[in-house]
Chains A and B, each alone.
Chain A
């Protein structure tokens, strides 16, 4: 049977001490078995009941380092705002998931959009303020 691919629009990476979880909206009934693959880059894949493969793109670079070291992860599924399934699944570390890593590209697009909206001067002002805040935080 072919596995249906689902691109996840938004998901949360959650933390409780040393334990990490991924939470997202699913409307797919009970869970029996699962497979979680991660290659240390932009995207992870959760295959559910061997029927649907949920692609989790745009994983934040800070979270990538952590996910790369995990043996297992908790999956928190939400349906209509309520937690519907919670389970732990082994993280299968694989070499290369064939999904394009567009993280930096997406960030750049967003910055271009921001620059177009604000104009060169105000965009520069925003970046300058961010830099000042960063320096303050570093102190």
Chain B
């Protein structure tokens, strides 16, 4: 054991999310992802992920999204952006954008691919 070096609480707002972990990381997420995918599959998994963020309690949406990306990685695939840091940051920072995006999809005929790219671009810029 060693004495800890205490730091300023206000300094924590400079940190951005890189990854998630924990005992419950995968619990129940298969079912959750399936539900979201069934409802939104016409837009592909990226939108399913964003919608899960928009429609569900934030932490669960993130957990589902992270679990999808982890599962994809485990299968030798990468679902987000090719850059884990950007992917996770996008999922965290994109919550508001995702909510707006989900509403836009509902009401308008919009270019899904372009909108997704914009969300990820904004999130990547935020992370720098």
Is A104 touching B74 in the complex (CB atoms < 8 A)? yes
B6 at the interface (CB under 8 A from A): yes
A7 at the interface (CB under 8 A from B): yes
Query: What's the count of A-B pairs with C-beta under 8 Å?
Result: 181
Is A57 touching B22 in the complex (CB atoms < 8 A)? yes
B128 to chain A, nearest CB (A): 11
Assembly CA distance A108 to B38 (angstroms): 20
Q: Mark B34-57, 1 if CB is under 8 A from A, else 0.
A: 110110010011100000000000
B103 at the interface (CB under 8 A from A): no
A26 at the interface (CB under 8 A from B): no
Task: Indicate which residue in A9, A87, A104 contacts B6 across the interface (CB closer than 8 Å).
Answer: A87
Interface size on B, residues (CB 8 A): 55
B122 at the interface (CB under 8 A from A): no
Is B29 touching A110 in the complex (CB atoms < 8 A)? yes
Is A60 touching B70 in the complex (CB atoms < 8 A)? yes
Chain A residues with CB under 8 Å of B44's CB are 129, 133
B82 to chain A, nearest CB (A): 4
SS class, residues of chain A in contact with chain B: mixed
Chain B residues with CB under 8 Å of A110's CB are 26, 29-30, 67, 71
Chain B residues with CB under 8 Å of A131's CB are 77
Assembly CA distance A111 to B77 (angstroms): 14
Q: Mark A76-107, 1 if CB is under 8 A from B, else 0.
A: 10000001011111100000000000001011
Is B6 touching A10 in the complex (CB atoms < 8 A)? no
Chain B residues with CB under 8 Å of A113's CB are 29-31, 34
Chain B residues with CB under 8 Å of A23's CB are 12, 15
Is B7 touching A8 in the complex (CB atoms < 8 A)? no
Interface residues of A in 1-48 (CB under 8 A from B): 7-16, 19-21, 23-24, 31-35, 47
With contact pairs A117-B30, A129-B45, A133-B79 given, residues A16 and B5 touching in the complex (Cβ less than 8 Å): no
Interface residues of B (CB under 8 A from A): 1-9, 11-12, 14-26, 29-31, 33-35, 37-38, 41, 44-46, 59, 63, 66-68, 70-75, 77-82, 84-85
Interface residues of A (CB under 8 A from B): 7-16, 19-21, 23-24, 31-35, 47, 50, 56-63, 74-76, 83, 85-90, 104, 106-118, 122, 125-127, 129-131, 133-134, 137-138
